[in-house]
Amino acid sequence: MSITNFRSADAVSDRSAGAQAVTPKKTFQTLQEKKQAGRPITALTAYDYSTARLVDEAGVDMILVGDSLAMVVMGYDSTLPVTMDEMLHHTRAVRRAVRHGIVVADMPYGSYHVSVAGGVANAARFIKEAGAEAVKVEGGAARCELVERLRDAEIPVVCHLGLTPQAVHRMGGYKVQGKTLAAAEELARDARMLEAAGAVAIVLEGMPREVAAIITSQLQIPTIGIGAGPDCDGQILVFHDLVNLSFSRPAKFVRQYGDAAALFRTAIEGYVQDVEERSFPDESESYHLSKEVTDVLKAQEVTDALRAPVTASKTHLIRKA
Ligand code: KIV
């Protein structure tokens, strides 16, 4: 393929109603430019085709196929059980929907913890088999070697520091991190090391606003906060939290922008009621035969009635005759 045909860095046409005909494809350079210009970066999770289309058509910069899907889509009580194959499946669905945003695949627990080589091999699967443009890994300085190897393998990597849900057992629950001076310093040091190792962005989750602000000011690469205050270069939320579909008490940092649960509930209850009352489907929601075919059918009905099967009680009369 000629590099002059390479579309992802070029403008691509937009299929959303009313959108401009051409919208530029976003890249990590776009995020870098936004940081430098002081323009906030937007990011959201998406796990399937329909939500990914809505998120992309709204102009969100980065779309994360987060392992949070283990909890909000699959109903597990942590992110730990979701597998590589499940994450690949969801990433492919999102990939088919997204034209402008950067698709980042979250590497599930166990997919990069056993060995660096195993981590690189699994990351390559997200790029090659699912069309992701980058992967995300959780953890601090211990991830530096992996980040370097991913950079060498041409795989952009987003890191994730602070409240890292895959470390729920080590943290003793989903607790805000970096609250002591030593812990805050460690987070800032980890962030600098991950940047030096080649990370293209860092998600800062569940940490005091002040710590996130210091880290953001020390890094050249963008920080994307979730429960880390307003001073990060961008923000990310779990889509299901944003629209009240996660069936759990929202964390302090979640702002709900809609109530999809109420909307869906009303729609589902209305459907059930209409079916039970036989008011759905109605005449306008039914398909019809043409008049000619209906006439033929009616005529056949008359003929068939005349040829109606002989009942058992009459068969002896026929045999005698
Ligand atoms: O899995 C996820 O959704 C995440 C975001 C919360 C950053 O990691």
Tens of pLDDT along 220-276?
999 999 999 999 999 999 999 999 999 999 999 999 999 999 999 999 999 999 999
The answer to whether residue 2 scores a pLDDT higher than 60 is no
Q: Among 60, 63, 64, 168, which residue has the most ligand 1 atoms within 8 Å of its CB, making it the best to mutate?
A: 64
DSSP label of 3: G
Distance 277 CA to ligand 1 centre (A): 43
Q: Could you report the per-residue pLDDT of 23-53, keeping only the tens digit for each?
A: 899 999 999 999 999 999 999 999 999 999 9
Stretch (H or E) spanning 224 = strand 223-226
Q: What percent of the chain has pLDDT over 90?
A: 86
Give the least confident one: 1-15, 89-103, 201-215. Answer: 1-15
Binding site membership of 166 for ligand 1 (Cβ less than 6 Å): no
DSSP label of 185: H
The answer to whether residue 6 scores a pLDDT higher than 60 is no
CATH second-level architecture of 3-256?
A: Alpha-Beta Barrel (3.20)
Binding site membership of 241 for ligand 1 (Cβ less than 6 Å): no
Report, as an integer, the average pLDDT of 196-202: 98
DSSP label of 261: H
How high is the pLDDT of residue 319? 46
Centroid of chain to Cα 181: 35
Residue with the smallest CA separation from ligand 1 atom 4 is 66
Nearest Cα to 47, choosing from 118, 111, 130, 163? Answer: 130
Binding site membership of 245 for ligand 1 (Cβ less than 6 Å): no
Q: Is 129 a catalytic site residue?
A: no
Q: Among 136, 204, 245, which residue has the most ligand 1 atoms within 8 Å of its CB, making it the best to mutate?
A: 136
The answer to whether residue 197 scores a pLDDT higher than 70 is yes
Helix axes 144-152, 181-197, angle to 10 degrees: 20
154, 205, 210, 285: the catalytic one is 205
How high is the pLDDT of residue 311? 60
End-to-end Cα separation, the chain, in angstroms: 84
pTM check: above 0.85: yes
Question: Can you tell me whether residue 15 is helix, strand or coil?
Answer: coil
**DSSP 3-state percent helix, strand, coil across the chain (nearest 5):** 45, 15, 40
Name the residue ranges covered by the structural domains of the chain.
3-256, 267-320
- Is 19 in contact with 53 (CB distance < 8 Å)? no
How high is the pLDDT of residue 312? 54
- Is 41 in contact with 222 (CB distance < 8 Å)? yes
Stretch (H or E) spanning 157 = strand 157-162
The answer to whether residue 139 scores a pLDDT higher than 80 is yes
- Is 21 in contact with 64 (CB distance < 8 Å)? no
